[in-house]
């Protein structure tokens, strides 16, 4: 009986197609690179090979491809990009599991700074809008504070894994130039901080922010966000839960003035 051959063992080179943009004002273009194959490479290691020797498939020396990375452990979210049309993290995208050629594109829902580097400032602006933090009154020691029930802590811990990578916004059809939708990431953080015993004191302000333009009512329930989240955060559960909170808050506000 013939032994089954691992397809990755017969691979000798990696073809990379990168959608490049050398400046915000310049027109994007495609450029191909051919890199020698090594086992257990990820997309970041392929980009690092290009950085060491920035020569395209036509043998022309070109400016190195620009990208972002930090932790290389799928924790920081910096290396987010579209890989073969799928928003994901380049550090966890293994070459052996990707077809050839590997196609890299920057996120289309964010302003491109250069090549694969985008400006995700809108996500941090959204977190500021919904007050996604725990307020502390003063610089003195406040003590341990109230304890969160363990079942709630376990549930909320999953929401705290958000690394603001932008994958959920990239996959969301409601995030576009005609919409102000805040996105699933910020909505999920509202659920997280509203559940915190101390953070709950600002729950009304967070819900008010989501009742304004671009808030929760702009969600089209496509559920693409939960499918592409690299941390498997239950984003659609958060959207539903925050929707219930908003309804209760709106009724109380109406009845109590």
CATH of the domain at 74: 3.10.20.30
* Inter-residue contact 196 to 180 (CB < 8 Å): no
Q: What is the CATH number of the domain that holds 126?
A: 1.10.1060.10
Shared-domain flag, residues 63 and 105: yes
pLDDT for 9 equals 52
Q: What is the mean pLDDT of the chain?
A: 92
The verdict on residue 3 lying in a domain is no
Shared-domain flag, residues 232 and 189: yes
% of the chain surpassing 90 pLDDT: 84
Angle at 15 between CA 50 and CA 93, to 5 degrees: 80
Query: Could you report the per-residue pLDDT of 7-33, keeping only the tens digit for each?
Result: 445 568 999 999 999 988 899 999 999
Shared-domain flag, residues 218 and 129: yes
* Inter-residue contact 109 to 183 (CB < 8 Å): no
Task: Tell me the two tokens of residue 131.
Answer: 């007050």
Give the single-character DSSP code of 63. Answer: P
The verdict on residue 98 lying in a domain is yes
Shared-domain flag, residues 84 and 167: no
Shared-domain flag, residues 114 and 129: no
Total count of domains within the chain: 2
pLDDT for 3 equals 40
Q: 3-state class of 85 per DSSP?
A: coil
* Inter-residue contact 160 to 220 (CB < 8 Å): no
**How far, in Å, CA of 167 to CA of 154, rounded?**
24
Cβ-in-10-Å burial (0-12, 13-18, 19+) of 93 comes to buried
Range in 2-11, 104-113, 164-173, 177-186 with the lowest mean pLDDT: 2-11
**How far, in Å, CA of 80 to CA of 105, rounded?**
10
**Sheet strands side by side (includes 29-36):** 29-36, 13-20, 102-105, 80-83, 86-89
Q: Give the phi and the psi of residue 238 in degrees, each rounded to 5.
A: -65, -45
Range in 70-84, 125-139, 153-167 with the lowest mean pLDDT: 125-139
**How far, in Å, CA of 160 to CA of 30, rounded?**
37
Average pLDDT over residues 106-115: 96
Its domain, for residue 46, covers: 11-118
Shared-domain flag, residues 82 and 186: no
- Count of all residues that appear for the chain in the document: 257
The verdict on residue 5 lying in a domain is no
Between 8 and 119, whose confidence is greater? 119
Shared-domain flag, residues 154 and 213: yes
Give residue 4's region: left, alpha or beta (phi > 0; psi -120 to 50).
Answer: beta
pLDDT for 140 equals 75
């Amino acid at each position: 009986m013939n032994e089954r051959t691992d397809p990755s063992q017969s691979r000798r080179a990696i073809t990379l197609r990168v959608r490049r943009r050398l400046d915000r004002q310049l027109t994007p273009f495609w450029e191909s690179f051919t890199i020698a194959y090594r086992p257990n490479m990820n997309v970041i290691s392929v980009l690092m090979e290009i950085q060491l020797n920035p020569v395209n498939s036509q043998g022309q020396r070109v400016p190195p491809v620009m990208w972002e990375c930090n932790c290389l452990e799928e924790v920081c979210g910096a290396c987010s990009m579209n890989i073969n049309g799928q928003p994901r993290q380049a550090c966890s995208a293994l070459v052996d599991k990707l077809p050839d050629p590997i196609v890299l594109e920057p996120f289309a829902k964010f302003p491109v700074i250069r090549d694969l580097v985008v400006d995700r400032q809108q996500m941090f602006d959204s977190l500021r809008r919904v007050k996604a933090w725990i307020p502390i009154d003063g610089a003195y020691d406040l003590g341990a504070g109230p304890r969160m029930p363990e079942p709630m802590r376990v549930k909320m811990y999953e929401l705290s894994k958000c690394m603001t990578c932008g994958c959920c916004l990239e996959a969301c059809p409601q995030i576009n130039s005609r919409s102000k939708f805040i996105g699933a990431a910020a909505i999920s953080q509202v659920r997280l901080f509203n559940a915190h015993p101390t953070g709950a004191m600002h729950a009304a302000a967070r819900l008010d922010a989501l009742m304004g333009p671009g808030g929760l009512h702009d969600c089209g329930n496509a559920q693409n966000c939960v499918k592409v989240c690299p941390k498997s955060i239950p984003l659609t559960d958060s959207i539903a839960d925050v929707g219930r909170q908003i309804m209760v808050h709106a009724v109380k506000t109406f009845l109590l003035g």
